[in-house]
Amino acid sequence: MKGRLIALDHIGDREAAALMVDGKLDDLIVAQAAGPVPGSIYRAEVGRQMKGQGGVIVSLGEGQMGFLRGVKNASPSDRLMVQITGHAEAGKATPVTPKLLFKSRYAIVTPDAPGINISRAIRDDDIRDALLLTAHETMSDSGFGLIVRSSAAKAEAEAIAEDIEAMRALADAVLAKAEGPPALVHLGDGPHLIAWREWTDPAQVDTDAGCFETHDILDQIEHIARDYVGLSGGFTMFIEPTRALVAVDVNTGGDTSPAAGLKANIAAAKALPTQLRLRGLGGQITIDLAPMTKRDRKPFEVALRAAFKADPVDTTLVGWTPLGHFELQRKRERVPLSEVLR
C-alpha cells in the first residue's frame, strides 16, 4: 500500500499505535504495562540525595520513586511538581523533571519558561507573523510561556487557538493541585493520543479492532523483534540490547570491495533511527562499525547526523571511542519491544 497509514489498535490488552509508510512499519508506540506513564505529572516529595549521581530520589506516592537530576537547594521533605520524562529500566527509579510541559498537536505550554516562540521549522515570515498574532491573543493575560509547533503552519487559526486554550486550561488546573501529599495529578497521553499529537502529516487512519492484523503490522512487529536487520546493498546489522548498553554490529556481508566498509556503515546510519525507534531502545548505544579508514569517518558522521535529525526521540551523538566504536546517548521514552512481546 502506498502512502501513509495510521493504525490504532491493541497488542494484547495494551493500547498501541502504528505508522505505516508505503506498506512498511515506520513508527510504533505501545502503552507500558505498569509504572508511571511518560508525560504524567505528580506531586512529589524530595527524599535522599544520591551523592555522585547529581540528583535526588523523590517519592511519587503509592511506593513509586523518581530520580530528579540537577535540582538545586532541595531538602528532604520538600514538595514540588514533577513530570515523567521517560521509561524506567527494571529496578531503577523513573526519570523526572520539574520543568512541566503541556503538549498538544499545535502548541506546548511552558509554565516555567515565559515568552512566546515559533518553531524554527516554520520559515515563512507571513505564517510566523500570523501565528504570533494568534498566540499573543490567546496567551495575553497568562504568565505562561508558549511554543507554537511546526504542525501549526498548515492549520486554521481557530484550531490553533482552541489547542492553545485547552493546554493553558490544563496547565491552570494541574498547577492548582500543587498542595498535598505525593500523588498522580495528571496522567500522560496514551499511544492513540500521542499518534494524533505527533503524526500530523496527512494519512489514512484506521481505528477498527484488529486493524494491526489487517495491515500486516503484527507480522512486521514479529520481524523487527529479531536482532538481524537487512540493509540496502546486501549489508547487515545486528541490534542487541544488554543490561548496560545497546550493541550495534555492522557487517559488509559478501562485499569485499575497498569501499564496502563505508557503504555498509552509511547504510546502517540511515536505517538506525527507525530500527531503534521501532524496538523502543534507548540509553547508551555503541556501534561496532564495519572496517573503514579514518578519512571515511567524516562522511559516516554526516550521514548519521542527517538520519537522527529527523528522528523524534532525543539522541546525542557522543563520538568515537579509542577502539573505533561510535557511541550515542538516546532518551528512554519508549517501552522496549522485548517487554511488549513477553
pLDDT, tens digit, 9 for 90 and up, residues 157-194: 999 999 999 999 999 999 999 999 999 999 999 999 99
- Cα–Cα distance, 69 to 57 (Å, whole number): 9
- Cα–Cα distance, 185 to 313 (Å, whole number): 25
From 61, 58, 63, 64, select the one nearest 97 (Cα to Cα).
Answer: 58
Q: Model confidence over 296-326: pLDDT tens digits? A: 999 999 999 999 998 999 999 999 999 999 9
- Cα–Cα distance, 42 to 22 (Å, whole number): 40
Distance of CA 306 to the CA centre of its chain: 17
Q: Counting Cβ atoms within 10 Å, is residue 326 exposed (0-12), middle (13-18) or buried (19+)?
A: buried
Q: Model confidence over 13-41: pLDDT tens digits? A: 999 999 999 999 999 999 988 889 999 99
Average pLDDT, the chain: 93
In the sheet with 115-118, reading across from the earlier edge strand, the strands are 102-103, 107-110, 145-148, 115-118
Backbone φ/ψ region at 70: left (φ over 0), alpha (ψ -120 to 50), beta: left
Using 50, 70 and 90 to split pLDDT, how confident is the model at 47? confident
Q: Which three three-digit cell numbers place residue 204?
A: 489514512
The pairing of strands 64-69 and 94-97 is parallel
Q: Would you state the torsion angle of the CA atoms of residues 255, 260, 263, 266, taken in this order, to the nearest 10 degrees?
A: 100
Across the range 261-284, mean pLDDT stands at 96
Backbone φ/ψ region at 282: left (φ over 0), alpha (ψ -120 to 50), beta: beta
Domains of the chain with CATH codes:
1-31+190-224 (no CATH), 41-97 (2.40.50.140), 102-189 (3.30.230.10), 226-340 (3.40.630)
- Cα–Cα distance, 16 to 88 (Å, whole number): 19
Mean pLDDT is lowest, of 187-191, 203-207, 321-325, 338-342, for 338-342
Q: By three-state DSSP, how is residue 105 classified?
A: coil
At 41 the pLDDT is 97
Start-to-end CA span in the chain (Å) = 30
Three-state SS letters, 266-302 = HHHHHHHHHHHHHHCCCEEEEEECCCCCHHHHHHHHH
Distance of CA 196 to the CA centre of its chain: 15
At 58 the pLDDT is 93
- Cα–Cα distance, 261 to 290 (Å, whole number): 5
At 75 the pLDDT is 79
Residue of higher predicted confidence among 228 and 258: 228
Residues in CB range of 103: below 8 A, 6 or more apart:
39, 167, 197
Across the range 97-112, mean pLDDT stands at 95
Q: Model confidence over 232-268: pLDDT tens digits? A: 989 999 999 998 899 999 999 888 898 999 999 999 9
At 76 the pLDDT is 84
Q: Counting Cβ atoms within 10 Å, is residue 136 exposed (0-12), middle (13-18) or buried (19+)?
A: exposed
Across the range 136-162, mean pLDDT stands at 93
Percent of the chain with pLDDT over 90: 80
From 295, 228, 297, 292, select the one nearest 261 (Cα to Cα).
Answer: 292
Using 50, 70 and 90 to split pLDDT, how confident is the model at 52? low
Is the torsion defined by CA of 255, 256, 262, 268 positive or negative? positive
